[in-house]
Amino acid sequence: MSILEIKDLHATVETPEGTKEILKGVNLTIRSGETHAIMGPNGSGKSTLAYAIAGHPKYEITSGSVQLDGEDLLEMSVDERARAGLFLAMQYPVEVPGVSVSNFLRTAKTAVDGQAPALRTWVKDVKGAMDNLRMDPAFAERNVNEGFSGGEKKRHEILQMELLKPAIAILDETDSGLDVDALRIVSEGVNRAKENTEVGIMLITHYTRILNYITPDFVHVFVGGRVAEEGGPELAERLENEGYDRYLTTAN
Amino acid sequence: MTLTTDHSKAELESEGLSFGPATGEESRATRHASFDVAQHPVPTGREEEWRFAPLRDLLPLFQAEETTVSEEHLSYDVDEVEGVRAGQLGSGEGPRDSVLVPEDLVAARTAELTANALHLTAQRNVEVDQPTVVEIGGHDASVVAHGAIVLETEESSSATFVLNHTGSARYAQNVEMVLGANSRMTVISLQDWDDDAVHVATHVASIGRDATLKHIVVTLGGKAVRVNATSRFTAPGGEVEQIGLYFADDGQHLEHRLFVDHAAPKCTSNVTYKGALQGKGARSVWVGDVLIRKVAEGTETYEVNRNLVLTEGARADSVPNLEIETGEIEGAGHAAATGRFDDEQLFYLRARGIPEIEARRLVVRGFFAELIQKIDVPDIREHLTASIETELARSMN
Ligand SMILES: Nc1ncnc2c1ncn2[C@@H]1O[C@H](COP(=O)(O)OP(=O)(O)O)[C@@H](O)[C@H]1O
Ligand SMILES: [Mg+2]
């Protein structure tokens, strides 16, 4: 049983125009097995929240706290956070030339587990996970994200989540830009991970469509760098009909 | 015809893309060449050719009036390989001095002071799979040694030659490569010197009809290493791939100057040089001249240089230069870029639990991987991978 607790989180970024505050007091708690949809308009700070939790060097935390099972995540380096059980599926996964997917996955698994996976079962696990995500075996020999289509990149992110088995996963717009088939495949992967590992999920999305495939336990409307409203799945339906306009007019 | 030029993220000292000789600068076609030492002035550092060079380290090579011939100072060791004839060539004895006509003082002195050149020949119609390895071992960096090597593939033969440089030396070297029609030659020059070595090499290849040259330069060791590598097409249908890999540490100066001379129609050249730099005063220079002469219709050429700067205080200069005298070509392009470690790449890897040191190692290994894969000799590939690990370990503890 894991718990991620974000309390009054403020974060800034350096821009050419000066320091800009993007997160303005985020409160959010995610437990194992729960799925929290974070929905908000572009530019509201959703990716910033994801990056700040994962420890991206561009964002400075100016106040607040983030704890995973009582441990202060903000004191940890990026890789320590991952080894503590945090995973971030990125909105824009990064190319790493010359590093094959299979080498990358094995290196990451070894790092997260603190020991190399048993070869036989690992090969089987990777193959099985790739099959489930309808990824061609040849994919393993390609360089990480190099020349991947949008859908391939997102499947590759979910593949990592399924293999690394984090306690808490943040999925940043994993659904954006996917066609319906790819969306279904990716959603199945998320649901499999939920079932198999009880992972707690922060599902960041701009669109309600993915909620037809992944049922959230909680919905948080994210506007202007903080949670503007919270509710159950019914809140998503309301957003579906009304959009974000109602929040934008009241947000400052 | 397509022309591409990509200087994304480039930090260039200067660069050129010109049709015909650029104004103010002489065309590469007109560079003075002569065997007469007196015709080559001692460089001052103001010349385009020498402006990046560590002249203080090279000075003894400019001044040398005599050369060391003792095995105690510099030794050559050649493994005999079936199908490759080993011999010697005196000054002016062909094909020696037919391909390399000195364009600077060091090459001119080397031609003059080297009594006998090592001559390795793959005989006509013979395909030699096993590489012929020349071990060049330096044992004394306080005296100047000169050497000349002539590598030859006769018509329709194929061979691989490895020049492996180790130890300490102050060494000036001329390498001539003579590719007969329809032959294939691979040359791998490894500069794996000790930290005090100074080495200036001039490589010139003459590429016959339908012949293919793969020229690989790997420079890891040495205080100051300068390799000039020229490929000249003398007949149609030739193909050249020039590959280079270097890793400059603290106080090392590694300079590679290339020239691909498209002096015949329908030839293809591809140049890829990649370097990593780390530590204070680590310095690399890459100059890539490509000349497409008026006769060279149907030319296809691409050259690229990429540098990865791993720490503060290192500097990479990168100067691609494409000179085109005919519009009737298939394609010509060049790219040069010098970048630091990509923070986004490191973040991505670290967000998967991979510790920073290991993430950096993955990125650097990945940076060189495409080149290492092109080296067909497994021993060298493994040696190289291990050497890069060792270099990295130095900066990442
Ligand atoms: N690295 C950055 N530099 C400058 N501005 C940034 C940076 N990252 C985010 N921002 C700004 O912060 C705001 C929120 O961005 P982001 O977190 O990407 O929002 P979302 O993911 O909700 O679309 C935007 O106005 C964006 O321009
Ligand atoms: Mg975003």
DSSP string, A167-188: SEEEEESTTTT--HHHHHHHHH
Any idea where the domains of chain B sit in the sequence? Answer: 9-341, 342-397
Amino acid, res. B316 = A
For the Cβ of A249 lying below 6 angstroms from any atom of ligand 1, the answer is no
Structure tokens at A160: 């990592």
> Which atom number of ligand 1 is nearest to the Cα of residue A51?
17
The b-or-e profile of B4-40 (16+ CB within 10 A means b, else e) is eeebeebeeeebebeeeeeeeeeebeeeeeebeeeeb
Q: Is the CB of A19 under 6 A from ligand 1?
A: no
Q: Return the number of CB contacts < 8 Å for A and B.
A: 79
* Ligand 1 atom 26, closest CA: A43
Contacts of B369 in chain A (CB under 8 A): 97-99
Q: In the predicted model, is pLDDT for residue A22 greater than 50?
A: yes
Q: Which residues of A122-140 are buried (b: 16+ CB within 10 A; e: fewer)?
A: beebbeebbebbebeeebb
pLDDT score for A8: 98
Most A-contacting residue of B341, B350, B373 (CB-CB within 10 A), to test interface: B350
Interface probe with B: pick from A91, A92, A96, most Cβ of B within 10 Å? A96
CA atoms within a 13 Å half-sphere pointing along the CA-CB vector of A86? 32
Strand ranges, E, within B208-299: 212-221, 224-233, 239-248, 253-262, 268-277, 283-292
**Contact by Cβ (8 Å): B172, B146:** yes
Q: Under 8 Å CB-to-CB from B341, ≥6 apart: which residues? A: B308, B309, B310, B360, B363
Mutation probe of ligand 1 site: the residue of A22, A46, A60 with most atoms within 8 A of C-beta: A22
| Residue B23, pLDDT score | 42
pTM for this prediction? 0.85
Task: Give the Å distance between the CA of A46 and the centre of ligand 2.
Answer: 5
Chain A residues in contact with B345 by the CB 8 A cut-off are: 94-96
- Expressed in angstroms and rounded, the spacing between residue A45 Cα and the centre of ligand 2 is 7
A97 at interface of B, judged by CB pairs closer than 8 A: yes
Give the model confidence (pLDDT) of A56-76 as tens digits.
999 999 999 999 999 999 999
**B95: preceding bond cis by omega (within 30 degrees):** yes
- To the nearest whole Å, the CA of A113 is away from the closest chain B CA by 9
Residues B89, B128 contacting (CB under 8 angstroms): no
Chain A from 179 to 208: CB within 8 A of any B CB = none
> Mind listing the domains of chain A with CATH numbers?
3-251 (3.40.50.300)
Q: Which residues of A touch B343 (CB under 8 A)?
A: 57
The Å distance, Cα A44 to ligand 2 centre, comes to 8
Burial class from Cβ neighbours inside 10 Å (0-12, 13-18, 19+) for residue B224 reads buried
At B333 the pLDDT is: 94
Residues 6+ away with beta carbon under 8 Å from A85? A2, A68, A69, A166, A167, A168
Q: Does A85 touch chain B (CB under 8 A)?
A: no
Residue B192's pLDDT is 96
**pLDDT tens over chain B, length 397 residues:** 556 665 543 333 333 444 444 444 678 888 999 999 999 999 999 999 999 999 999 999 999 888 888 888 999 999 999 999 999 999 989 999 999 999 999 999 999 999 999 999 999 999 999 999 999 999 999 999 999 999 999 999 999 999 999 999 999 999 999 999 999 999 999 999 999 999 999 999 999 999 999 999 999 999 999 999 999 999 999 999 999 999 999 999 999 999 999 999 999 999 999 999 999 999 999 999 999 999 999 999 999 999 999 888 899 999 999 999 999 999 999 999 988 888 899 999 999 999 998 999 999 999 999 899 999 999 999 999 999 888 888 766 5
Query: What letter would DSSP give residue B83?
Result: T
Check B345 against A79: CB less than 8 A apart.
no
Using a CB-CB cut-off of 8 Å, the residues of chain A touching B363 are 96, 99
Closest CA to B202 of B131, B291, B103, B284: B103
**Predicted pLDDT of residue B14:** 33
Q: Hey, whose CA ends up nearest to atom 6 of ligand 1?
A: A13
Task: Kindly state whether B368 is in contact with chain A, defined as any CB-CB distance less than 8 angstroms.
Answer: yes
Strand duo B158-179 + B132-153: pairing: parallel
- Is B365 part of the contact surface with chain A (CB cutoff 8 Å)? yes
In whole angstroms, give the CA distance from residue A173 to residue B211.
53
Whole-angstrom Cα distance, residue A89 to residue B166?
Answer: 47
Task: Inform me whether the pLDDT recorded for A91 exceeds 70.
Answer: yes
Sign of the alpha-carbon dihedral angle for B342, B347, B348, B353: positive
Nearest to A97 among B354, B356, B367 (CB): B367
Query: For residue A120, what pLDDT is reported?
Result: 92
Of B352, B355, B359, B348, the closest CA to residue A85 belongs to B352
pLDDT of residue B3: 63
| Ligand 1 neighbour A47 (Cβ under 6 A) | yes
Share of chain A above pLDDT 70, in %: 98
**B343 CB near a chain A CB, below 8 Å?**
yes
Closest Cα partner for B256 from B227, B276, B291?
B227
Report the separation in Å between the CA atom of A2 and the middle of ligand 2, taken as the mean of its atom positions: 25
How is residue B49 written in tokens? 């050719």
Measured distance CA(A39)–CA(B382) in Å, rounded: 51
Give the separation between CA B35 and CA B100, rounded to whole angstroms: 9
End-to-end Cα spacing for chain A? 37
- Is B355 within 8 Å of chain A by CB? yes
Q: Which residues of B77-116 are buried (b: 16+ CB within 10 A; e: fewer)?
A: ebeebebbeeeebeeeeebbbebbebbbbbbbbbbbbbee
- CA angle, corner A220, sides to A217 and A221, nearest 5? 145
Q: Do A56 and B349 make contact, defined as CB atoms within 8 angstroms?
A: no
Note whether A96 contacts B363, CB cutoff 8 Å. yes
CB atoms within 10 A of CB B382: 12
Rounded to the nearest whole angstrom, what is the distance from the C-alpha of residue A195 to the centroid of ligand 2?
Answer: 27
Subunit contact A143:B368, Cβ cutoff 8 A: no
Tokens 């194929």 correspond to what residue? B158
